[in-house]
Amino acid sequence: MFASASLAAAVVASAQTFPTRPMELVIPFAPGGLVDVMGRLVGEPLGKELGQPVVVRNMAGAGGSIAYSRVSKAPADGYTLGLVGGGLFINSVLRPGSGLDSVKSFRPIGLLGQQPFVLFVNPARFDVKTVAEAFERIRQNPEKFTYSSGGIGAASHVLTEYLKNSYDLKMLHVPYAGQGPAVNAVLMGEVEMTLQTVAGAEDLLRTGRLRPIAATGANRLKLFPDVPTFAEAGFKEMDIVGWSGLVAPAGLPEPQASRLIQALGKTMAQPELQRALEARGVDVRLMSDQEFARLMVKDKAFWERAIAVGKIKTE
């Protein structure tokens, strides 16, 4: 009993002083993209709240599996955090064998923000203004129209194939190495459309060089309030949105978890940070760690269903 009491006292003492050294934030993509930018925007003020630097570590490769594995296998002491999104669940289906459970291997800390997926077209090549008009053109000309994605197994690929098979659309997939090249392919007229988050394409959409015609999610985008949701356009089951959130390895002691959750909550409530994220097309939404945990379970089920309906394979 004495040993147990001593151990409990040590855990409490550790939590009271946590953190005492720099922390690592693992990001599953290369520097420069939206996820990386989000991690850096949040990491600096989060470090100030915690009293220790939060050092970003980019671990790109295998669709994020390298980073996810790194976080799941790190010591559950609060010094290793991971930035995750829907790709975590896509990878668990398309790239099995990592030995991690996309939900049970992590301790949810909190949501950073959400990014609806937007179907946008090149009006010079595919002059449509509504989803209904676009789908009718595609049905009248099977396999004539093309769409770009960020690569085989990317969220843009999985979601568009889900949309295709849900609404009997026959169009060709052209994969690119990332969201930026996929968006540029639409701009250059190499393909007619893409289904992506708006990050990096804001000015192209504002100036009309690209035309947004529908967005996923339950609410309209703050940056483009005139763009209807798929549901408003009459197409259901497209309420999924992209998001990014912080997790720690499973087994993180609750005192350390509470410290991180509290610090992240204060960080995300900062108006300056919210403005910086919203300027990049991120809808900041504050939620508890329990709400974030439920979101992860819900989205895991959606992406598993989307992969099955879309008949996605990485081979």
Nearest-5° Cα angle at 73, 78 to 307: 110
- What's the start-to-end Cα distance of the chain, in Å? 56
CB neighbours (10 Å) of residue 35? 24
In degrees rounded to 5, what are phi and psi of residue 8? -60, -40
Nearest-5° Cα angle at 307, 301 to 312: 165
Nearest-5° Cα angle at 211, 113 to 130: 100
pLDDT tens-digit readout, 169-221: 999 999 998 888 999 999 999 999 999 998 888 899 999 999 999 999 998 98
Strands, sheet with 146-149, edge to edge from the N-terminal-most edge strand: 172-175, 146-149, 193-196, 118-121, 211-215
Query: How does pLDDT run along the chain (315 residues), one tens digit per residue?
Result: 545 544 444 455 455 689 999 999 999 988 888 888 999 999 999 999 999 999 999 998 877 888 999 999 999 999 999 999 998 999 888 887 767 889 999 999 999 999 999 999 999 999 999 999 999 999 999 999 999 998 888 899 999 999 999 999 999 999 998 888 999 999 999 999 999 998 888 899 999 999 999 999 998 988 899 999 999 999 988 989 999 999 999 999 999 999 999 999 999 999 999 999 998 889 898 899 999 999 999 999 999 999 999 999 876
Backbone region of residue 61 per phi and psi (left: phi > 0; alpha: psi in -120 to 50; beta: other values): left
pLDDT tens-digit readout, 22-43: 999 999 988 888 888 999 999 9
- pLDDT of amino acid 270: 96
Contact 116/240 with Cβ under 8 angstroms?
Answer: no
| Tokens describing residue 282 | 């991120």
Contact 89/105 with Cβ under 8 angstroms?
Answer: no
| Tokens describing residue 73 | 């296998």
| Tokens describing residue 204 | 């192209």
Query: Tokens 């959130």 belong to which residue?
Result: 245
Contact 78/18 with Cβ under 8 angstroms?
Answer: yes
Is beta strand 211-215 parallel, antiparallel or unpaired with respect to 118-121?
antiparallel
| Tokens describing residue 217 | 């999610």
Report yes or no on whether pTM surpasses 0.85. yes
Domains of the chain from N-terminus onward: 2-114+242-310 (3.40.190.150), 118-215 (3.40.190.10)
- pLDDT of amino acid 83: 96
